[in-house]
Structure 1
Amino acid sequence: MTGATSSSAQTQQGLTDRLARWARGLSGKAEEEEEDAPDARRRAGTASSREIGRRRRLYEEIGDFLFAHDLDLTPLNFGVAHDYLTGANIGVEKAVRAVLMERGRITNGWIEGVAAEHRPDEVTPEALATMLDKVEENLEQFTGLMDESRTSARNYGAALQEQARGLESGGDSEPILARLVGLTRSMVEKTRQVESQLRDNQRQTLALKSSLESARRAAEHDHLTGLPNRRAFETVLRDEIKVAQESGEQLSVAFCDIDHFKRINDSHGHDTGDRVLKFVAGLLAKASDDRCHVARHGGEEFVMLFRGKTAAEACEAVDAVREDLATRSLVNRTNGERMERVSFSAGVANVLAHEDPRAALKAADRALYLAKEHGRNRVYLASDLD
């Protein structure tokens, strides 16, 4: 246990040292280039210097953010801070913004949780090392078996040639034939051993492949609601954009967020909150088919993607689910008490009207934010807000 901890610490320290060296390089690079470059190169490099300055300011902002929340200087913390400050990952940005509004600060442990939810493709150095070790082990076993098989075949061939020369020279055939029989039996046995080892290796490889496929499926589904998660949704979004562009179909996206969800958790407990999440997920999933994809985007937020519907048509479809939920009278199973009315707000945007998927998601998110701000339990269309 101590050795594993020490190895993890060394790996982390190495990555931390690299970040520190990169930071020191940024802090002096712009000034050094200005001092050393001739006038012509200085003029040609003005844009580059501006970019260096921009990156340096971003690094300082990230450093200030980590320092303000007393966070460790790790690649994971650095990456989440970068995603939040630059808006590179809308899920991380919204999660950080929400926890800052609720608690005022974030912790190392919270970042690990949000990274697992919003950056599931994040691979730790230790996990990567373990996977590489397993791949190398299987490769070495396979290579060893092939080398052993080739060596045995070569030795067998050489021995056969030697015995064949003995027969050609007119020597006593009986002992030569006996040696040939012995060589053949030895080769057959060796071949059987190699085949057995190869079968074992194949079984291990198939088991590893099955485990990886199961892990991949699990990594793309939300364990609570059973819906696809954000990672799976982003894959579908990329694929659907290509299909829509090729076919000329409409493509619309909607963010749906349960209203006052924190109040539900505080008043009725997290178990009831989880049941509300599953109930809302079930209502949204009823609209899901091969042309409508529903996923849990994180927390109490869901995302819907409509192929073949304009943003206005998608808005009507989402609003129908909103009205259905708003008419439901839910009961707390723990104590039998009737709960306050549960509702959600939503924002809808035309994906293809924006330059890239991130811009479309931000437009839908902005519409959702305004729906919340203007009273909740409503659906806003992004184009109506421009």
Structure 2
Amino acid sequence: MRGQTRQGLRPPSRRQGTRRRALSAAAAVAIGVMTLAAPAPAAATVRPDAVQRALNVLVRDDGMPAALASVQDRDGRTRTSTAGVGDLATGSKVPRDGQVRIGSNTKTFTAVVVLQLVGEGRIGLDTKVDDYLPGLVRGEGIDGRNIKVRQLLQHTSGLPNYSNYLGDDVRYYAPRELLDTALQHPADFVPGTSWKYSNTNYVLAGLIVQKITGRPLAEEIDRRIIKPIGLRHTYFPAPGEMTIREPHPHGYLRNAADDPLRDITEIDPSWGWAAGQMVSTNSDLNRFFSALLAGHLLPSAQLAQMRSTVPAEATFGPAARYGLGLVSRPLPCGGLSWGHGGSFPGYETRGGATDDGRAANVAVTTQLTDEAARRSLERAVDTALCH
């Protein structure tokens, strides 16, 4: 059901089509909606800026039902933009800075909690997984006595990706079920000898957090990250929680190229857990990644470790590199953006922040399997960070 896409988690079908579709009339007339933090007079007559034009392309040319962006400049000013429609059935507007399922951006939250515990001396990056979860990680070519915590966070453990093997059963999954699914399959490589993106790494990282702290991962993320930096629209869904709590655009799935888009907004997200379960907004993601780079979430030693990267082009695109739950990408205007990105049934997000205070996140309301559409989404982020 949920095999790896180029970046993140895949929807509950292997047959999702990749062909561009014509927009509904409702979506077509909604292209060009722009909302500012301080509304400009006569906004309807203003020529769309570069970010708005990029969102319009995602809706008009790439067939996204909706696209949302939040851009933060060096001075901390934020602008939000939208295109398309929030609900294809009703033609309703896209909610300004609406909540979306952020998929694998969750990994960065999980990594920050692990690294905070490293800074507290409670976890060692080069300590073996078996020291924290004795006897739990065993399989064909798999042994927790040979896998370091660092290798989990950097996807160099060789652990198989459980989400390739879950099938089409959309239900609640306990974290141990996800791990057990992975352990039924052989290792991809000897730990530390290669790089391959695997959601299993972050399920194990989450289990280690819970073992060390004695509290649920969701509580640790909330008290260590969400509340301290004021992420008012970000949360880790509770077990069995299928709806999105605040105003949000609907998310859509197409099982095959000729199938209509299907509303998949309400779904049990537990199969993503520490690797991809969270809900947020573009503006909250900007706040999170900016706070992280500014040193507000980690001591300098742990932030430096997080930014120590290895090549990750196969999953994240040309010249991309992966740190400890953090991705760097070169910008066309020079320098790097640091973020992650996420893919989850109904939603796709991309974004990043820079060391000089810029930040941008863009979301669309269908999961992308088409490489051209992915490139369009990444160009929209680059446009937002470079203009």
Please confirm whether the aligned pair reaches a TM-score higher than 0.5, indicating the same fold.
Answer: no
Which of the pair has more CA radius of gyration?
1
* Structure with larger RCO (C-alpha < 8 A, sep 6+): 2
| TM bucket, shorter chain | under 0.3
